[in-house]
Amino acid sequence: MEARAVARHIRVSPRKARIVVDLVRGKSVEKALEILKFSAKAVSSPIEKTVVSAMHNLAGQFDHPVEPSEMGIREIFVDEGRTMYRIRPRAQGRAYRIRKRSSIITVIVDYRGDLEKMK
């Protein structure tokens, strides 16, 4: 069984978000939340919220409580979201373009516990 969660329009560059996402890919949800909690990067908070959301989406499919240690991150990736364009005034009447990038974070969590418990 698997569940997914998607966070859209996160105001951080996808390049910066991928650095943090690479740290938790393939780990158990419990270990991933631990890593994200103590990460110094600002993007770790939205990633943590998305992992928790996917975890709750998976837990809602069961009749019994499921521990985060029984779940694992099967897939986690960052795509490029919408880019906002702004103008920065420069010398002699020129204007430079500023690109404010955003990210789409997708987390897919699967059940790694004992399948006999589900029956």
CATH assignment of the domain containing 45: 3.90.470.10
Q: Count how many domains the chain has.
A: 1
pLDDT value at 12 more than 60: yes
Q: Which residues form the domain of 81?
A: 2-118
Q: What are the pLDDT digits (tens) for 72-98? A: 999 999 999 999 999 999 999 999 999
* Beta bridge partner(s), residue 105: 7, 78
> What's the pTM?
0.89
